[in-house]
Structure 1
């Protein structure tokens, strides 16, 4: 009798386990289906830097030229529009198939991008162009488009000023760190301000008594942080800054940051020097050795060049 009851109890346990396994499997299946959908609902608008963080799409488009229709061309148009090479204002959530058409205007924009980055200006998405687009970079624009023209921002030598040539009307500026800024990265940012202080012959920088009263506000942010320029997680845009007299500079907290040349990480001081240049009114330089060059490599350090210093002195008349 005990054996019969034990057998019946075992059957009940097996049946319950089977039901639980089936239920769990269904949940996993639904999760795998719904997560991409939920992700899209949370972020329905394509970010301008999507291409930079999506090497697969870029690789699929390599070799594209005028006349081609390939998935991802719309993303390329949005990328080039965001950084100032194309006057493209289509709704990012639209699904017009013609947006994936590699038209003449896009060819002109690709050529402009290639010229800016000293590449062979073919208008074709060749390997060097794709590699440059995939590079981690600053989120500030390179150029300003006017209507359907492709005029560059005010350029002297290879350095450039931000649109409208904004500048500070005082030489003594204070800076402060947001409450969540990692303490270990404060010293390299201090050093970055010191680099510009020593080189400018115009500015002096000092730590403010509080973050709220600082002229320049330094913070770590993630994804959509409500400034109109969302980060995209690891890869793509590393940081961005706002022109005078705004004073905000944001570093992407999802990137791997380091102090010094650490493999597969970005040197905080080097990127900070670049972003401080934007805070002072400098745009991106076309001189690759300049700190104001737009893209960065991991595992390396970089400092001010003569082009950066000449640009700041030209802007402030020193």
Structure 2
């Protein structure tokens, strides 16, 4: 009996499922408590002081919160006037729309959960979406006009990295590997192939890291604010905030403000292909991403949305996706890792204890 148990343990260690070429564990060795991550001093951390505010309150600085809602498509600037520090009907209406969009309890108030979501780092693309493409049976959303790359199926798109706008915290090979994995997530479900090019000027998709104002009217705002933004088809511009602590390995990068590069890249590629923000919190196209969080696996909402634009990859199977979800804990990829001495010691200890 002990032989069979040991054989099973060894077989398990040597046969860890490999659903991705990435060797980094999906979870960080230094995770941040989800309820405490907002204590990190990010761009919007001062909004935390508004928790519990009610309509009718005059609060110093709440005009900045109105600017936030204006930026992301929830609040219009009335008659070109500056926003005031009054918690008024307009702010309440913006809160309700925000809570509805992001799957929060609809209270119209600055409750703790809403404030926690507001201060989360996120994509810079507006959440504003046309009603024409909303439907009761789906959550995925397209940009106005439902743009997509208009080439004949199957499509090949090239991408290139700006030679000037780079980061030094990661090697170029690490950066390129993260982006290749991100592109592969989408290519596996639609008939689109992504090829890296050395010709930045003529590539379909142009990728670069920038700080502050960088010429597109959408300036970056520092650590844990807007992480990145990309433009709808067929613009092809993909910009990331160089001020962030970008990571491809949470075991190596221990910073509390580390942001997973592959997760952000996967999200922004969805925009480049034509998807807007969804209200499904588990989906890749949900607008926010917490520090030290990974979200790289396309969910059904992401897949159905992108296939509505481009059709299905001939090799894609919903049945295979379902089986993968079941075997990997509801869609979480288990990264194959090299065996360590700890693994062998574990087997030896179990053997001796029998």
Give the TM-score, by structure 1 length.
Answer: 0.76
Q: Which residue of 1 aligns with 2:24?
A: none
Corresponding residue pairs, total: 256
Alpha-carbon contact 1:257-1:267 (below 8 Å) kept: yes
SS across alignment from 1:279: helix
Alpha-carbon contact 1:222-1:231 (below 8 Å) kept: yes
Q: Which has the higher contact order (CA 8 A, sep 6+)?
A: 2
SS across alignment from 1:307: helix
Q: How far off is 1:91 after superposition?
A: 5.9
Relative to structure 2, which stretch is displaced further, 241-250 or 67-76?
Answer: 67-76
Structure 1 runs of 4+ with >4 Å offset: 89-92
Q: How far off is 1:254 after superposition?
A: 0.3
Alpha-carbon contact 1:193-1:273 (below 8 Å) kept: yes
Q: Distance in 1 between matches of 2:85 and 2:141?
A: 32
| Equivalent residue runs for 1:38-53 within 5 Å | 53=43
Q: Deviations along 1:27-72, whole A, 9 cap, x unmatched?
A: xxxxxxxxxxxxxxxxxxxxxxxx961323x132221222111112
Q: Distance in 2 between matches of 1:68 and 1:247?
A: 43
Cα-Cα RMSD: 2.0
| Equivalent residue runs for 1:11-90 within 5 Å | 53-56=43-46, 58-88=47-77
Q: How far off is 1:270 after superposition?
A: 0.9
| Equivalent residue runs for 1:1-318 within 5 Å | 53-56=43-46, 58-88=47-77, 94=82, 99-144=84-129, 152=131, 154-156=133-135, 157-170=138-151, 171-180=155-164, 181-182=166-167, 183=172, 184-200=174-190, 202-261=191-250, 262-263=253-254, 264=256, 265-303=258-296, 304-318=298-312
SS across alignment from 1:299: coil
Q: Distance in 1 between matches of 2:144 and 2:57?
A: 34
Q: Which residue of 1 aligns with 2:334?
A: none
Q: Distance in 1 between matches of 2:147 and 2:71?
A: 20
Alpha-carbon contact 1:153-1:161 (below 8 Å) kept: no
Q: Deviations along 1:86-136, whole A, 9 cap, x unmatched?
A: 1125768x5x7xx11111121111011112222221111111111100001
Alpha-carbon contact 1:67-1:101 (below 8 Å) kept: yes
From the two aligned structures, give the one with the greater helix fraction.
1
SS across alignment from 2:267: helix
Give the TM-score, by structure 2 length.
Answer: 0.68
Judging changes above 3 Å, is the alpha-carbon distance between structure 1 residues 87 and 249 closer, same or farther for their aligned structure 2 residues?
A: same
Judging changes above 3 Å, is the alpha-carbon distance between structure 1 residues 260 and 300 closer, same or farther for their aligned structure 2 residues?
A: farther
Q: How far off is 1:155 after superposition?
A: 2.7
Alpha-carbon contact 1:217-1:247 (below 8 Å) kept: yes
